[in-house]
Amino acid sequence: MTKEEILNSLNKEQAEAAGTINGPVLVLAGAGTGKTRVITYRIAYMLASGIAPEQILGMTFTNKAAREMKERLAQLVDPKVAKEVTLGTFHSFCIRLLRKECKKLGYLPGFTIADESDQQGLLKQALGKLGLNGTGISTDMAQSTISNWKNKLWTPEDARRQADTNFDHDVAAVYQEYQELLELQNSLDFDDMLLLVHRLFTDFPETLKKYQERYQYLLVDEYQDTNAAQFTVVRMLCGDRCNLCVVGDDDQSIYSWRGADISNILGFPDQFPGAKVVKLEQNYRSTASILAAANAVIGSNKNRHQKRLWSGLGEGEKVRVVTAKSGELEADFIAAMIRQKMSADPAIRYRDFAVLYRSNHLSRQIETTLRRAAIPYRLVGGQEFYKRREIKDAVAYLKLLVNPRDDQSLLRILGTPPRGLSDKAVTALKLGRSTDNTPMLEQLGTKEFQGQMTSKGANGAAELTSVYRKYQEEFETPGNLVGKIENFLTDVGYLDGLQRIYKDLQDALKRRENVDEFINAIAQFETKYTAENPGEKPTLLEYLESFALLEENDRTEEDTENPDAVTLSSVHASKGLEFPIVFVIAMEQNLFPHERALAEGSEDEELRLFYVAITRARKLLYLSRSKSRFHMGMNKPSSPSRFLDHLGDDVAERAESEELIETVSAADVRKAFEDFFKNLK
């Protein structure tokens, strides 16, 4: 293609972005405005202008994005030429560079990348060597803190200078020891890649100059997601020439918890004087009604580059704000609407639907309802609810209550959270089981066995077995499952131990939310059981039998791999995806926006997250909430999300869930259930 043909294939703003190849350029690409198209056509335009392909460097955040760009570019220009353009993730670029230059930093080219378990082992070793075990600093806390420091380009010396608490001083020492251990083993962790490239460019100016001459034209995709390290490396590579094009959307900056710094895109015109700013506002994805809702929502954020999305795809149906009486009825509404839409239009497939939620634990009720309605689904960015590690751990704790001989459950929970029981103790348990067939839990509670362990291990074993003896008696009486299970999981140390099990506080909090939702499921089981069996109360064994049947169904169904399936996804994981029909559930205060984000003063980012959710929809968008929802085993009233206040009657219609599914008869629903259970036989 000639330069003229390339530009004529784009709209006016896209052509301006693609055709401006010298100097700094900020392309503000709103949702669905053809961002990838602009990047690939811009590279094609540069090649058509005589720029050598090896002088072009494009950096993305995902391998999928890089792969898509390479494929599209190969369709526009000679594939051999396209292959000479450097396109990849930040980390892949850094690895390639370090393989060539790492000897200058004291590494050998055959260095390996330490994974999370490697890092944990090294940090444990560092903590032990420094005598910091038992001081309250876990390997997870150290790992998270050191990662944040590396993303700020801090060395151990920088961390030590900046430390103003005992915790920071201690972790800075751990950082120093950890880094020395990495170097001794000729290993890098993921955060080292950018840190070491920065160090290379800083300590060896001639190396920086070599790469500045090599890569004279830079493109950065999803620029709103860059952190301090990425920004600094890009700026160094630009040099005085500064032929830098960054493409992104500040309205979709939703990863501050991963280190993304929105000021990089907001401050681009100031950081790169003379920068040209091009706004892409024509959306090729959604109807005008959906974009009107998106504009109404994001327009209330003041700290942003002003832009307004518009569409040539027609007005379309208004956004629906739907209220259900409960979380169960909200899920029933979604299942019924899927059936209703597919009945009305045979061209609609399951894959045309997506259900989005702010937190992963909210998928549990939707999964249960879709499974019962025989509607196939797949999860994006997460495991099926009941297959998540923290749920399986909780179930293992409960199974051991009703079956003390269940050694597999004991082995699963023995070190979850850590109780000071060594590998030697586990080996002894296995040996005792094979020698005299004594169940492991029984062995663990004996004075003889505990006498072979350290005092910490003996105490851990004694406490664990004591709690089990107490609650085995309590669970002999049916009923009040939720109260007893909550007390048991607390007393056994699981609920409060989640922060010691998982990498950082945010991860632990999300896992706790999932366990809370699991307890909600038990509460719903108990409520349903008593309603169906007047005068009777369920036992823990009956619940576990019900759960086991659900697990068996999960193992035999192939829905998660079925390409024609409803997509269930957190809003974070849905970024970059689009669907004809989207349901955003649990639009309730403290769920969306999330109460933790509100407490941290991150409402602007929550609003951007809501904007991302809205702009995933192409034709139809439903925003649903329930008047009450199970929380911590209790059905509690909920209030609508304040974000819904941004949607006036001009852009949204409001309705009760029953009003929209009145065409679905009870017989239709009953038949779907009958068909589902018939298929299981």
Annotated catalytic residue 36: yes
Helix axes 494-501, 389-402, angle to 10 degrees: 140
What are 91's two structure tokens?
């980390």
For tokens 């409402």, name the residue: 603
Residue 596 annotated in active site: no
At 581, list the tokens: 């029909």
- State the distance between the two ends of the chain, measured CA to CA, in whole angstroms: 59
Residue type, 438: T
- Say how many CA atoms lie within 13 Å of 558 toward its Cβ: 5
Name the catalytic one among 378, 399, 412, 616.
616
**Tokens 């005092």 sit at which residue?**
455
State the helix-helix crossing angle for 666-680 and 363-372, rounded to 10 degrees.
80
Check 101, 189, 192, 221 and give the catalytic one.
221
Q: How far is 394 from 417, CA to CA, in rounded Å? A: 11
Q: Nearest CA to 432 among 417, 423, 422, 442?
A: 442
Helix 494-501 with 139-151: angle, nearest 10 deg: 40
The token pair at 384 is: 């099926």
616 is catalytic: yes
The active-site residue out of 170, 222, 249, 352 is: 222
User: Are 237 and 215 contacting, i.e. CB atoms less than 8 angstroms apart?
Assistant: yes
Question: In whole angstroms, what is the distance from residue 88 CA to residue 91 CA?
Answer: 8
Does the annotation count 222 as an active-site position?
yes
C-alpha to C-alpha distance for 262 and 253, rounded to whole angstroms: 6
Residues 6+ away with beta carbon under 8 Å from 312: 282
Written in H, E and C, the secondary structure of 293-336 is: HHHHHHCCCCCCCCCCCEECCCCCCCEEEEEECCHHHHHHHHHH
Give the containing element (helix H, strand E) for 595. helix 595-599
**Residue 435 burial by CB count (10 A; 0-12/13-18/19+): exposed, middle or buried?**
exposed
The greatest distance separating any two alpha carbons of the chain, rounded to the nearest whole angstrom, comes to 86
Cβ(313)–Cβ(325) under 8 Å? no
Point out the catalytic residue in the list 33, 143, 145, 252.
Answer: 252
Q: Residue 246: helix, strand or coil by DSSP?
A: strand
State the angle between helix axes of 494-501 and 481-491 in degrees (0 to 180), rounded to the nearest 10: 50
Question: What is the SS3 string spanning 139-154?
Answer: HHHHHHHHHHHHHCCC
The residue length of the chain stands at 681
Q: Which of 3, 20, 36, 656 is catalytic?
A: 36
The tally of CA atoms less than 13 A away on the side-chain side of residue 630 is 25
- In which order are the strands placed within the sheet that holds 617-626? 377-380, 566-570, 353-357, 579-584, 617-626, 319-324, 652-656
Name the residue with tokens 């829905």. Answer: 559
- The token duo for 267 is 């401050």
d(CA 120, CA 140): 7
From 14, 33, 35, 251, the catalytic residue: 35
DSSP string of 388-444, one letter each residue:
SHHHHHHHHHHHHHH-TT-HHHHHHHTTSS--S--HHHHHHHHHHHHHH---HHHHH
Per-residue tokens: 206: 């001639």
Q: Which residues are annotated as catalytic?
A: 35-36, 221-222, 252, 616
